[in-house]
């Protein structure tokens, strides 16, 4: 997509959204509700039968068509196996749709609330479905989507921040030192783990992407789906490897369908580390998008970077003593 279309993506207007929806044969009401998404543009709408849908416009130049279609294929597989995900709807045999240079997909709208992860039954139920996601996830591999690696998430992220002058000069030496130490320690932990199965993952399975209803959980936003270790889809729900009761509850359900290799606990803190480094670089890479400057006004200030360094130092202490 050209720079002009990239800029127009930032300023996607309701009329364009409605025209795109109408182009596939739906009849949306004029009211659109913008949903809380920064990477893509996501809106809820109703048709004239009062059925609710969600339309997602994909950010240009992030994923190729092939990578988006792999995500769609994965979620459609999961839905076909009665695993509670929300796959894209199919229009004339296509899930990835285009209009005026924009790529988009339409989904059924299903609500829910944040799950109560301290509740044993809830956590076990969620674990059971993640186990089913992973059991199906290991049946194929992504051919186009990337793998979760220290290089892609941490090394390249640190290089981007340092190479594009985001850090204040007085922060640069501290960031270079701390990020290098954390990356080296993370590599060491992965080396200690040794070879592990890399499977198709949700990739970003934090509590806000698990919506709870009286009928149980459903999983949303597979936009970060990729190959990686199973623990990546588990640690963000527990956050503390030492909380044996919560891990026991989660794995009780998970291991009904998928064996968990306890050795992967070794890389839980490295995964948290590379996510921290990646998050700052993600904000930096999107900083020319006006919506990011509006929604993250605290980013790229001296205070932000000073607090980021402090967080990385705290994480280094955890890694060194873990």
CB of 4 within 8 A of CB of 61? no
Tokens of 218: 């459903």
The string of DSSP codes covering 151-220 is: IIIIIHHHHHHHHTT-S-TTTHHHHHHHHHHHHHHHHHHHHHH-----EEE-S---GGGEEEETTEEEE-
Residues paired with residue 210 on neighbouring β-strands, in sequence order? 219
CB of 205 within 8 A of CB of 236? yes
Say whether 221 is catalytic. yes
Say whether 233 is catalytic. no
Choice among 221, 261, 262, 289 that is catalytic: 221
For 258, counting Cβ atoms within 10 Å of its Cβ (0-12 exposed, 13-18 middle, 19+ buried), the class is buried
For 143, counting Cβ atoms within 10 Å of its Cβ (0-12 exposed, 13-18 middle, 19+ buried), the class is exposed
Choice among 80, 108, 191, 204 that is catalytic: 204
CB of 254 within 8 A of CB of 127? yes
SS (H, E, C) 217-286: EEECCCCCCEEECHHHHCHHHHCCCCCHHHHHHHHHHHCCCCCCCHHHHHHHHHHHHHHHHHHHHHHHHC
**Residues assigned a catalytic role:** 204, 221
């Amino acid at each position: 997509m050209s720079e002009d279309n990239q800029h127009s993506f930032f300023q996607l207007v309701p009329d364009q959204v409605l025209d795109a929806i109408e182009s596939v044969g739906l009849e949306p009401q004029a009211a659109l509700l913008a949903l809380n998404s920064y990477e893509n543009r996501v809106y809820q709408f109703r048709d004239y039968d009062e059925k609710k849908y969600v339309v997602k416009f994909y950010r240009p130049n992030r994923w190729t068509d092939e990578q988006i279609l792999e995500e769609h294929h994965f979620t459609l597989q999961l839905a076909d196996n009665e695993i509670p995900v929300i796959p894209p709807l199919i229009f004339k045999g296509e899930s990835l749709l285009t209009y005026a240079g924009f790529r988009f997909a339409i989904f059924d709208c299903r609500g829910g609330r944040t799950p109560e992860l301290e509740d044993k039954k809830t956590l076990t139920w969620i674990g059971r479905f993640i186990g089913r996601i992973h059991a199906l996830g290991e049946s194929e591999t992504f051919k186009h989507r990337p793998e979760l690696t220290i290089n892609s998430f941490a090394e390249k992220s640190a290089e981007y921040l340092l190479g594009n002058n985001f850090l204040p000069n007085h922060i640069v030496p501290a960031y270079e030192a701390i990020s290098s130490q954390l990356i080296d320690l993370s590599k060491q932990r992965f080396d200690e783990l040794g070879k592990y199965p890399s499977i198709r993952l949700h990739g970003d399975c934090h509590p806000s992407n698990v919506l709870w209803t009286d009928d149980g959980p459903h999983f949303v936003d597979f936009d970060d789906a990729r190959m990686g270790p199973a623990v990546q889809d588990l640690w963000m729900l527990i956050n503390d490897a030492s909380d044996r009761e919560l891990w026991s509850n989660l794995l009780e359900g998970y291991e009904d369908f998928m064996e968990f290799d306890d050795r992967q606990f070794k890389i839980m803190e490295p995964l948290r580390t590379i996510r921290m480094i990646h998050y700052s670089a993600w904000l930096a890479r999107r900083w020319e998008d006006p919506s990011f400057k509006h929604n993250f006004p605290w980013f790229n200030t001296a205070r932000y970077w000073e607090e980021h360094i402090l967080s990385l130092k705290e994480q280094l202490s955890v890694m060194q003593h873990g």
